[in-house]
Amino acid sequence: MKVVAVPPTLGEEAVDELLEAVHQALGSAGPAGRTDADSASSELRVLLDARRVRWVDPPGMLGLLGAARLVHLRTGHRARIHLPESRDVSGYLARMNLVAAARAVAEIDDPPNPRGGRPSDALLEVTSIAENRDVHQLVEHVQERAGAILSRTLGYPMSAVLQFSVLLSEVCGNILEHADAPGWVAAQSYHWERRLGRHVLVVAVGDAGVGFRGSLADRHAGRYGARWSDATALEAAFIHGITRFPDQGRGQGIQQIRRQVRRWGGLISIRSGTARIADVPEWDDRPPLQEGLPELPGAWITIILPARGPQDPSGPGQGGSP
């Protein structure tokens, strides 16, 4: 059995490190394509060892699910996940429904004697999205929590609750429209003291489907020729609003999400295949486009909404950095 150590701080950037380790364990250190070593992948068993994890956020949780799904796709075997030894962290993952969600894609034990039995205070625990009614149910579920977190914690006007519900519906609906596979969503608020000094709401949505390149290929790959890639597909959808649908006006969810996040001064990034694209506000310094990343099946969206600061005269979200 190959053992892959999960980074102790499991956030969005650390997911790339985790995926690179998974590819190396499977015999392919490169970011894309199959190699001769892949012929032996079907015989591999992989353990995702998260025992040293001390901190994890929604993108990290979904990234762990994505890594497990990658193992299953490449080997035909379900990965095994060892939960954090920290009772606080393993208990948090159980309350966030990560343990239950992981059972759909991996072998995982119940957390050993998790500390505390209180329910999660997250806006949204890890929730599976497989059909339209899942989207409707989760939007209804978060209405009350969204009001508390957006208005009292982040300082947004109450009108933002409805706008956030629409945004959440759109971002989850993209899974059903484009992925051809189930996905997950999770959201949690944190106080980012070190770099931002205020609260943020972090929303993560991901699936292990065909990704942007696969979704758009039939209608658009030909016009790009040899330049067609994961990065090109992300730019086509994210910047130019290109969709796989022939009828005008359909498939514009990403554009609507992007505009709303920008109004709130937030950040949105999309990771698909071997690339990541982002709308980067002033308070963040990540590159707007990254290529050559370790391959990740499907599409993974991260949205970060900062609390309204004292310098914000009107709308919320001219935030700082974590």
Contact status, residue 159 vs residue 252, Cβ threshold 8 Å: no
| 260 pLDDT more than 70 | yes
Last residue of a domain, one of 95, 117, 139: 117
CATH number at residue 3: 3.30.750.24
pLDDT confidence of residue 44: 84
Same domain assignment for residues 68 and 145: no
Same domain assignment for residues 86 and 160: no
- Is the model more confident about 82 or about 246? 82
Same domain assignment for residues 73 and 134: no
Same domain assignment for residues 241 and 318: yes
pLDDT confidence of residue 118: 61
3-state secondary structure the chain: CEEEECCCEECHHHHHHHHHHHHHHCCCCCCCCCCHHHHHHHHCCEEEECCCCCEECHHHHHHHHHHHHHHHHHHCCCEEEECCCCHHHHHHHHHCCHHHHHCCCEEECCCCCCCCCCCCCCCEEEEEECCHHHHHHHHHHHHHHHHHHHHHHCCCCCHHHHHHHHHHHHHHHHHHHHHCCCEEEEEEEEEECCCCCEEEEEEEEEECCCHHHHHHHHHHHHHHHHHCCHHHHHHHHHCCCCCCCCCCCCCCHHHHHHHHHHHCCCEEEEEEECEEEEECCCCCCCCCEECCCCCEEEEEEEEEEECCCCCCCCCCCCCCCC
Same domain assignment for residues 104 and 150: no
pLDDT confidence of residue 119: 62
| 112 pLDDT more than 60 | yes
Contact status, residue 160 vs residue 305, Cβ threshold 8 Å: no
Over residues 44-64, the pLDDT tens digits come to 899 999 999 999 999 999 999
Over residues 3-41, the pLDDT tens digits come to 999 999 999 999 999 999 999 999 854 444 444 444 455
pLDDT confidence of residue 300: 94
CATH number at residue 317: 3.30.565.10
Over residues 124-171, the pLDDT tens digits come to 999 999 888 888 888 888 887 888 889 888 999 988 988 998 899 888
pLDDT confidence of residue 319: 30
Residue range(s) defining the domain that contains residue 226: 121-322
Same domain assignment for residues 164 and 77: no
| 246 pLDDT more than 70 | no
pLDDT above 70 as % of the chain: 83
Work out whether strand 2-5 and strand 46-49 pair parallel, antiparallel, or are unpaired. parallel
Q: In the predicted model, what is the mean pLDDT of the chain?
A: 84
Same domain assignment for residues 146 and 63: no
| 321 pLDDT more than 50 | no
The band of 117, judged by pLDDT with boundaries at 50, 70 and 90, is low
Same domain assignment for residues 7 and 135: no
Residue 193 is encoded by which pair of tokens? 């003291």
pLDDT confidence of residue 116: 53
Q: How many domains does the chain have?
A: 2
Last residue of a domain, one of 117, 136, 160: 117
| 90 pLDDT more than 90 | yes
| 86 pLDDT more than 50 | yes
pLDDT confidence of residue 114: 55
Over residues 262-290, the pLDDT tens digits come to 999 999 999 999 999 999 998 899 999 99
Same domain assignment for residues 131 and 254: yes
Last residue of a domain, one of 85, 117, 149: 117
Same domain assignment for residues 80 and 134: no
Same domain assignment for residues 285 and 172: yes
pLDDT confidence of residue 268: 96
Same domain assignment for residues 7 and 39: yes
Average pLDDT over residues 69-79: 94
pTM above 0.85, yes or no: yes
Over residues 185-206, the pLDDT tens digits come to 999 998 887 666 789 999 999 9
